[in-house]
């Protein structure tokens, strides 16, 4: 808001209208801030759960490390991610992406030629890949929601600490000024009236 304002009734009316808008917007941003904090808590819980699942799988896979190190089998060539299906939805003004499903392209396995552990290893690695893709989505969502929360807080704080107080202060200044002008006008009018009375009495 500019420091220099026009000290008149039109400006006063405009400022009162602005103040009304600011006071209406403030609870909206306060509510949005609370909603986003709840969304962040939910996403952080999901991230923690996925990270734990990934770490658990890593621990389980380490137990197979010796056999999986066999040079005859390259598990990475037995499957690849074909399609990751997601859907979007809006929460408190933020578009987030939700996991729906994941499809894999798998190579045919000749179980007569491959070790028995390969099938179990593929299941574990596909589960791991799924969890990793879900984790990527959740981390991306978390970043988006945190950015929106920061913006909501900036707007809330600006309204509470800058716009509303400054507008109230400017309204008070104009009201004082207009009051002074009105009292001065009344005083001048009385003085003119008194002078006229004196002149009429003299005459």
pLDDT digits (tens, 9 = 90+) for 115-140: 666 777 788 888 999 999 999 999 99
| Phi, psi values for residue 86, rounded to 5° | -135, 165
Domain count, the chain: 1
Range of the domain at 75: 9-196
Is residue 6 helix, strand or coil?
Answer: coil
Q: CA torsion 98→49→80→61, rounded to 10°? A: 180
Residue whose tokens read 């009495």: 201
Rounded to 10°, the helix 9-62/164-202 angle is 170
In a domain? residue 4: no
For residues 43 and 163, is the Cβ–Cβ distance under 8 A?
no
Q: Is the dihedral of CA 148, 153, 156, 158 positive or negative?
A: negative
Kindly report the pTM of this predicted structure: 0.78
For residues 78 and 107, is the Cβ–Cβ distance under 8 A?
yes
In a domain? residue 201: no
Between CA 176 and CA 190 the distance in angstroms is: 21
CATH code assigned at 155: 1.10.287.3240
pLDDT for 29 equals: 95
In a domain? residue 203: no
Q: Choose between 101 and 60: higher pLDDT.
A: 101
Average model confidence (pLDDT) for the chain? 85
Q: What is the pLDDT of residues 73-96, one digit of tens each?
A: 566 666 788 899 999 999 888 999
In a domain? residue 202: no
pLDDT for 1 equals: 43
Q: What is the pLDDT of residues 5-45, one digit of tens each?
A: 888 999 999 999 999 999 999 999 999 999 999 999 999 99
């Amino acid at each position: 808001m500019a420091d220099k304002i026009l000290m008149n009734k039109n400006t006063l009316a405009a400022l009162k209208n602005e103040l009304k808008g600011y006071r209406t917007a403030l609870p909206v941003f306060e509510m949005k801030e609370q909603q986003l904090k709840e969304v962040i808590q939910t996403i952080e819980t999901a991230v923690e759960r996925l990270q734990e699942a990934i770490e658990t799988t890593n621990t389980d896979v380490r137990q197979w490390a010796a056999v999986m190190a066999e040079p005859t089998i390259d598990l990475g060539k037995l499957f690849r991610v074909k399609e990751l299906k997601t859907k979007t939805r809006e929460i408190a003004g933020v578009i987030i992406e939700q996991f729906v499903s994941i499809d894999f392209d798998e190579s045919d396995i000749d179980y007569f030629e491959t070790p028995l552990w390969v099938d179990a290893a593929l299941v574990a690695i596909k589960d791991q890949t799924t969890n990793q893709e879900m984790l990527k989505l959740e981390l991306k969502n978390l970043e988006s929601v945190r950015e929106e929360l920061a913006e909501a807080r900036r707007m809330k704080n600006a309204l509470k600490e800058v716009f509303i107080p400054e507008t109230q202060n400017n309204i008070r200044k104009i009201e004082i000024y207009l009051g002074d002008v009105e009292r001065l006008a009344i005083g001048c009018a009385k003085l003119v009236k008194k002078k006229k009375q004196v002149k009429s009495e003299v005459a």
